[in-house]
Amino acid sequence: MSGVSFFFFLILRSKANPPIDWGNPENFQNLLGVIQRRQFGSKTIFHANFFNVPVKNFIDIPDFFKRIFQSFSTLIKIATQSYTFPLASVGLLGFYASFKFARKIFVVLLITLVIAGMGFAFLTGVGVSTNDKMTPYLPVVLVFSIFIAYGIVYLLKFARQIVFVLFLIPIYFLFVNYNSVNMSSNTIAYDHGRLMLRQVPKNAIIFTEENNWLFPLAYLQIVEEMRPDVTIYDRNGNIFNDIYAKAKKDYKGEEDFEMKRRQVENDIVTTSKRPVYYAVDKTFENYVDSQIAREGIMYRIGPPKKLDFAGFYKDLLNIDIKNRLNYWDAEYMIAYYHLQYAVDLIENNQIDQAVVQLKKAENWSNNDYRMLNNIGIYYVRLEKQIEAKRVFQKAIDINPDYYIGYTNLGYVYEVAGDKKVAEKYYIKALSINESYLNGIYRLAGFYETEGELEKALYGYRLALKIDPSNEDLVKHINELENMLVSL
């Protein structure tokens, strides 16, 4: 209870029914779900970060302990990044001072520190992604700050003359950190949302998801009342009107949920007869059908209008990388704009300019493994296998659990003719997430190409269990079975 007490304010906040009320934490069960970050597909250390697959189904024992120590190393890294050595030393002195002079408070703080530290590592299974690794450990920073306060008070008992030095410390940090925390000139989120609302016609519908798309739109429409004619739906049902409640029931994985979610959206598209857009990341392309086309950085149902990409989005494309923002989400979105500009150039057969934009996207990516994966996909399409191999390898080095990256790297090696290495990466991807449908298809197709039909059939049958309505897959399985009989 001590460890999670920091989050009890969420209960009071939720009861006020604010526009952003993720998880509706008005009771302890929902509160625990928010702490565990279930809305992001997370659960405990005993489950995978994707689909909540039990540990025994996706990971071996050595890898399991690696995840525990990985979470612990994340905690240590956050601690060292949050405090300089002098402050950390004062905090350690505060451990001694509180133990000696305030034993009961020391015990409460220590228990809180342990529960909010390693306890949260087990509770949330936090990984090492660049953007959200600090979130579960914020209570640790707060508790350790209290120990620092005890250390300062203890020092003052022995050396009153250091008061002036202690007074100078926050002033020093103000000057040192000002440039990295000053966001007064960062209008990227605002411009991103403004351009999306400017792009869509009157009475349009926008389906959106993920923070970088959702919150700029939510702020502009709810707070600034910009474009009230536009209807916005959050595809996770956390903000705006939740139209996906039934789709969330009997959750069987990302692909299954996406199919149900798209059915809900198709019903709205059919009945509303309004212009429909998707403001979503590129992972959405995994589910795009023939009715949906890319329009700038968004996707539109029906024929897209022609956009001068460089002109329409110039406010974001023209930001100089020399003026780095030291803010992950902002830099990720700039990288995303350059990536989509590269796609636009590829579609217009301007390959050299597209490669320039892909390199700019990589430079702005801040080593985000998902962005690197998307960049690698387009290097593959441009048949630049060396560049593709480099960025895919970089992606899985950053996140060793990124199964999509292993699959794509395997494909690059398969194209290059290195079959053994390709097979190794395909298998590695499925050892992390055995329900990854594209990975199953890749490995099954690889075995089919190599003439190992029994292994290929095993993979295709596994895929059919996940995607039982795939008539083409049923037909292909029958063809392979007949081939095996005739051999």
Where is pLDDT greater, at 135 or 61?
135
Question: 460 lies in a domain?
Answer: no
Are 78 and 174 within one domain?
Answer: yes
Question: 326 lies in a domain?
Answer: no
The confidence band for 357, taking pLDDT boundaries of 50, 70 and 90, is very high
Burial 10-38 (b: 16+ CB within 10 A, else e): beeebeeeeeebbbebbeeebbebbbbbb
Where is pLDDT greater, at 412 or 51?
412
Question: 314 lies in a domain?
Answer: no
Are 43 and 170 within one domain?
Answer: yes
In total, how many domains does the chain have?
2
Which DSSP letter does residue 112 get? H
Question: 50 lies in a domain?
Answer: yes
For the record, the structure tokens of 52 come out as 């909540």
Work out the average pLDDT over 202-227: 93
Are 201 and 295 within one domain?
Answer: yes
Last residue of a domain, one of 159, 181, 203: 181
Q: For residue range 307-348, what is the model confidence (pLDDT) as tens digits?
A: 999 999 999 999 887 777 667 788 889 999 999 999 999 999
Contact 109/94 with Cβ under 8 angstroms? no
pTM of the model: 0.71
Are 156 and 198 within one domain?
Answer: no
CA distance 110 to 138: 15
Question: 351 lies in a domain?
Answer: no
Are 250 and 163 within one domain?
Answer: no
Work out the average pLDDT over 148-163: 79
Highest-confidence segment of 159-173, 278-292, 344-358 = 344-358
Are 98 and 170 within one domain?
Answer: yes
Q: For residue range 255-287, what is the model confidence (pLDDT) as tens digits?
A: 677 778 888 888 888 898 899 999 988 766 655
Q: For residue range 382-403, what is the model confidence (pLDDT) as tens digits?
A: 999 999 999 999 999 999 999 9
Last residue of a domain, one of 251, 284, 307: 307
| pLDDT number for residue 197 | 97
Question: 101 lies in a domain?
Answer: yes
Work out the average pLDDT over 213-230: 94
The confidence band for 152, taking pLDDT boundaries of 50, 70 and 90, is confident
Q: Does the pLDDT value for residue 232 go beyond 80?
A: yes
Which range among 77-81, 232-236, 482-486 shows the weakest confidence by mean pLDDT?
Answer: 77-81
Q: Does the pLDDT value for residue 149 go beyond 70?
A: yes
| pLDDT number for residue 173 | 75
Work out the average pLDDT over 228-240: 88
| CB burial of residue 304 (10 Å; 0-12, 13-18, 19+) | middle
Contact 238/21 with Cβ under 8 angstroms? yes
Where is pLDDT greater, at 261 or 41?
261
Question: 78 lies in a domain?
Answer: yes
Residues 6+ apart with CB under 8 A from 361: 335, 336, 338, 339, 342, 371, 375
CA distance 79 to 145: 11
| pLDDT number for residue 119 | 64
Are 48 and 106 within one domain?
Answer: yes
Greatest distance between any 2 Cα atoms in the chain: 93
Are 199 and 154 within one domain?
Answer: no
Are 125 and 219 within one domain?
Answer: no
Which range among 10-14, 54-58, 167-171, 279-283 shows the weakest confidence by mean pLDDT?
Answer: 54-58
Least Cα distance to 170 among 78, 84, 75, 80 occurs for: 84
Q: For residue range 51-87, what is the model confidence (pLDDT) as tens digits?
A: 333 334 334 445 555 555 555 566 666 666 666 677 7
Which range among 135-144, 263-272, 308-317, 358-367 shows the weakest confidence by mean pLDDT?
Answer: 135-144
Are 258 and 293 within one domain?
Answer: yes
Question: 108 lies in a domain?
Answer: yes
Are 46 and 169 within one domain?
Answer: yes
Work out the average pLDDT over 12-21: 80
Q: For residue range 80-127, what is the model confidence (pLDDT) as tens digits?
A: 666 667 777 888 889 899 998 888 988 988 887 777 666 666 655 555
Residue 14 sits at the vertex; the CA angle it makes with 11 and 20, to the nearest 5 degrees, is: 140
Where is pLDDT greater, at 244 or 69?
244
Work out the average pLDDT over 129-133: 50
Burial 93-124 (b: 16+ CB within 10 A, else e): bbbebbeeeeeeebeebbebbebbbbbbbebb
Q: Does the pLDDT value for residue 2 go beyond 90?
A: no
Contact 368/131 with Cβ under 8 angstroms? yes
Which residue reads 């993720």 in tokens?
Answer: 22
Q: Does the pLDDT value for residue 203 go beyond 90?
A: yes
| pLDDT number for residue 44 | 47
| pLDDT number for residue 143 | 82
The Cβ-side half-sphere exposure at 29, using a 13 Å CA radius, reads 0
Q: Which domain holds residue 299?
A: 188-307
Last residue of a domain, one of 152, 181, 210: 181
Q: What's the mean pLDDT when you consider all of the chain?
A: 81
Are 132 and 163 within one domain?
Answer: yes
Least Cα distance to 451 among 411, 487, 424 occurs for: 487
For the record, the structure tokens of 48 come out as 């995978």
Q: Does the pLDDT value for residue 368 go beyond 70?
A: yes
